Every structure is written in structure tokens, then in C-alpha cells.
Structure 1
Amino acid sequence: MKFIKSLILIVFISATTSFVNAQTINTDKSEVKFKISGGGIFTVKGTFTGMKGDFNFNASDVSGSSFDICIDSKTINTKNDKRDEHLRSADFFDVEKYETICYKSNTVTKTSDGYKTTGDLTIHGVTKTVTIPFTFKNNTFEGELEINRFDYNIGEDYGTFRVGETAEVTIICKVN
């Protein structure tokens, strides 16, 4: 009987801990910003929205934290409708075939500047392991990384003259 009570207590604590650590993503206030050179002359800035998934961060137990989050690739917005339609096409993101861009963490660790998470980033059907340094303040995750579009087979026919090779990416995820 004592064993059963102990087992029930362990299950209850585990369930409660998981519930307490899980936060709800505020989809309206979360976005992924990017900037990439265009034609070597100017910089194209844009966003992706529609962020959803599991956000579990606990500063008291960083190693127990995890992220499994996707954004809607159709939401790309550079404030130029013609360019956005082209970016949604098979020439670039092929959003009909690859509807989401997803990140799933493998580890989350504390650093001297904040935190970092290492995990699998899937864009355009290609998965690569990336590390994202981030801060978490006022219920807001803010991380930055650089992505080489050729690593994900994006716009391969466009070289680097018209579109830069790497994009600077900032992830802002607000949670409740």
C-alpha cells in the first residue's frame, strides 16, 4: 500500500511539474523577424507569424526545459505583395508543400549571457541542427541565429547576386 501511495505521489508531482512549466504561446505577439541582402544594394526585412507549439521553459530547471514550435510559412511578409508571392512559390519556400517551419530542442542550457538551445530546425523539408542563444525576460523568449538559405535548398537557382546567402533571424516568442 505504501508503494502505491508513493507511486501516485510521484505521478502527481510529475504531472503538476509538467503543467507548471508549460506556457501558452501568445500567437498574436510572437513572430520571427529576418533580414537578408537584396541585390547587394539593399536589405529585405520581413516576418513570419502563426507561431504554435509546446513552449516549456523553467529557469529553475533549465535542463528540463524544451521547445517544439512551428511557424506558418505562408505568413511570410516583406511588405511587398509581389515579392511575398514569389517567396511563397516553389522557387523559394514552396509553402504549398512545406506549410511550416519548425524547431524542436534537444537541449537547453544556461550561459553567461542568458541561455542557449540546440535542436533541429526544419525548413523546406531539410532538417539541420542549430544552436540558438536566447534570453528570457518578462515572459518573452528572444533568440538570434544566422541561417544559410542554401543549407535548406531555398532559392538555389537565384545565386547570391539578387538574394543574399545568409539571413539574420530573430525569434520573439511571448508566452502567458
Structure 2
Amino acid sequence: MKIKNKYILVVIIILFPVLSFSQEYNYEIDKEHFSLGFLVEHAGYAKTLGMFTKINGSFTHDEKANQISNVKIVVDTSSVFTNHEKRDSHLRSPDFLDTQQFPQMIFTADNIKITKDETTMNGKLTLLGVTKSITLKGKINKIAEYPFGFAPPVVMGISARGNFKRSDYGMIYAVEKNLVGDIVELIIEFEARRN
């Protein structure tokens, strides 16, 4: 009996640091409080503002290590919206997003170390079947109990910005004559609920 108790005590001592210092929480992006916008230059006159309206996303936050991991955001490419029906239809075509063949755009990232001011988020963006590295600059705005009655109540708010060349993914329509810009600027704002 004494040997058994000693064994249990040893196990507790070994596991205690893990239990004490690991504090991971899973978060799911709130679809009603998510904005994925983009800006693309139009023939040098102005930038066209668009967005994607359908997404799914989740990640893990380790409060003790102050780190985010297991990030996965899946975007429904057919949900592209620029407030211009004809243009949106063109964006869904093989000239641009080719949504019938490639219905999803996916961003993944891991081991993001959160810093006090601006956080660098190195990840992978898969678009048109091509996966490339991408860097976002972001900030955790707030982690707190939500004042609007959700359960579970803890919500995290994040802002991030970044850009990429669409030609890197094989999307070259109108790039050569600069009628449609090559650089796509990303504007990301969202809230995520702790599970």
C-alpha cells in the first residue's frame, strides 16, 4: 500500500509542472464577427475593395507560453463580393479564382509567438492549388469575457494585415498591362470564441 502511494505521489510530482504551466484553449472564429477584405489596384486609378463572406476557422492559444498554434482558416472563394455583380462573376471565373475547380482558399500557421505590440504571423496560403509562404502582421486586441451573453463567454479579438502577389499563384490575368494590380492587400478583423 505504501509503495502504491509513493508511486502515485511520484506521478503527481512529474505531472504537476505540465498541469500548472500548460494552459491551452481552443478558439473558433465567430462567423458573424469576421471580415476578410482585400484591396487591388484598378489600372492605377483607384483600389477596388472586396471581401469574402463565408469562412471557417480555428486555432489554439497557450496563455502561459503566449503562443498561438494550429491555425487554420478556410475561405469559400465563391463568396467573393465587391458590390458589382458582373465583376464578382468574373472574379469567380478561371481568369481569377476559378471557384469551380478551386472552391477553397486556405491559410495555416503554427507556433506564432505573441508580442506586446505587433505580432508576426508566418504561415502558408493555398490558392488555386498552389501553396506559398505568407507573412501577416497582427495584434491581439483583447481577450475577455464577452458582454453580450455568449456561453462560453471568453472571446479574443484579432486584427491582421498582409499582402501577396497573385501572379505567384498563377493568377496572371491583366497583370502584364497593369490593368488589374498584382499585389493583393489583405485586411483581416475577427473575433473568436473560446470552446
> TM-score of the superposition, structure 1-length normalised?
0.84
- Does the Cα contact within 8 Å between 1:31 and 1:51 map onto a contact in 2? no
What's the counterpart of residue 27 of structure 2?
Answer: 23
Q: Give the superposition deviation at 1:87.
A: 0.2
- Does the Cα contact within 8 Å between 1:145 and 1:169 map onto a contact in 2? yes
Give secondary structure in 2 for the equivalent of 1:93: coil
Give secondary structure in 2 for the equivalent of 1:28: strand
Larger strand percent? 2
- Does the Cα contact within 8 Å between 2:96 and 2:173 map onto a contact in 1? no
Structure 1: 5+ residue stretches without partners: none
Q: Give the superposition deviation at 1:64.
A: 5.3
Equivalent residue for 2:43, pick from 39, 42, 46: 39
What's the counterpart of residue 165 of structure 1?
Answer: 182
Output aligned runs, 1:87-98, within 5 Å. Answer: 87-98=91-102
Question: What do residues 15-65 of structure 1 show as CA deviations (whole Å, max 9, x unaligned)?
Answer: x944xx111210111121111111111210010122213222345323453
Equivalent pairs counted in the alignment come to 170
- Does the Cα contact within 8 Å between 1:121 and 1:127 map onto a contact in 2? yes
- Does the Cα contact within 8 Å between 1:55 and 1:68 map onto a contact in 2? yes
Mapped to 1, the partners of 2:125 and 2:139 lie a distance apart of 19
Say whether residues 1:49 and 2:66 are aligned partners: no
Equivalent residue for 1:6, pick from 11, 22, 31: 11
Structure 2: 5+ residue stretches without partners: 143-155
Q: Share of identical aligned residues, percent?
A: 24
Give secondary structure in 1 for the equivalent of 2:122: strand
Q: Give the superposition deviation at 1:140.
A: 1.3
Amino acid at match of 1:44: T
Q: Give the superposition deviation at 1:137.
A: 1.3
What's the counterpart of residue 140 of structure 1?
Answer: 157
Amino acid at match of 1:169: L
Question: What do residues 70-115 of structure 1 show as CA deviations (whole Å, max 9, x unaligned)?
Answer: 1111111000000000000111000111111111113302345232
Mapped to 2, the partners of 1:54 and 1:106 lie a distance apart of 12
Bigger CA radius of gyration: 2
Mapped to 1, the partners of 2:63 and 2:135 lie a distance apart of 18
Give secondary structure in 1 for the equivalent of 2:29: coil
C-alpha spacing 1:118/1:107, structure 2 compared with 1 (3 Å): farther
Amino acid at match of 1:62: N
- Does the Cα contact within 8 Å between 1:116 and 1:134 map onto a contact in 2? yes
* CA-atom RMSD in angstroms: 2.5
Equivalent residue for 2:112, pick from 108, 115, 122: 108
Mapped to 2, the partners of 1:162 and 1:114 lie a distance apart of 33
